Amino acid sequence: MNRPSLVIVLAEDQRQKRFIYRFLISRGFRSDQMRMIISPSGRGSAECWVRENFALQMQICRTRHAKTGLIVLLDADAESVLQHHHELDDALSAQNQPKVDPARDSVTRLIPKWSIETWVLYLTSEGSARLVLTEDQPYKGTKPDDEWAALIPVAAATLAAWTSNKESTPEDLPNSLQLGITEIPRSL
């Protein structure tokens, strides 16, 4: 499969943006091959904003002549990851577009349980520290912003290695991360 000439990223916040930007850089993309679209802060629900903009970005990907990937980042919070998948499909249906077709659409839906911080902690932990992480509790706000900023490049590089077959994935992957990893090849 050919690599996309452009990857559109639709995300809730700056931390998600930094994570996926570093991931794409680690996978060999240049910044001019990325279009980052981030929810404006202070204007209501970022999750709702991403969902409302998903259909437009999906249409752009489906109609561009050059191969275009779409990566959507949403925090699942207390809801299930699959519930958010269905909500994204419903957003497409509301705009008279077909639901996501995994065999045809170059879209990756990355929906960490609770927040991106769950994945960042998992991707940067090792051994027994990894075993105590759970998707049953939120980790957002457990570290100062500068600590999260320092962890993001390491986490993104780990995910890049796992998804480019440079390293094997651990058996104890959180469910939301495992699902995200299976979707990544669609858009890259």
Q: Which pLDDT value is given to residue 128?
A: 64
pLDDT, tens digit, for every residue of 88-97?
999 999 999 9
Number of domains in the chain: 1
Average pLDDT for residues 161-177, to the nearest whole number? 89
Taking the whole predicted model, whether its pTM rises above 0.75 is answered as: yes
Question: Domain of 10?
Answer: 6-187
Neighbours of 55 (CB within 10 A): 18
Q: Is residue 21 assigned to a domain?
A: yes
Q: What is the pLDDT of residues 137-150, one digit of tens each?
A: 888 888 899 999 99
Q: What is the pLDDT of residues 50-65, one digit of tens each?
A: 999 999 999 999 999 8
Over residues 15-24, mean pLDDT: 98
Q: Is residue 151 part of a domain?
A: yes
| 56 falls within a domain | yes
Q: What is the pLDDT of residue 43?
A: 66
Q: Residue 102's pLDDT is what?
A: 92
| Cβ-based neighbours of 124, under 8 Å, separated by 6 or more | 151, 154, 155, 158
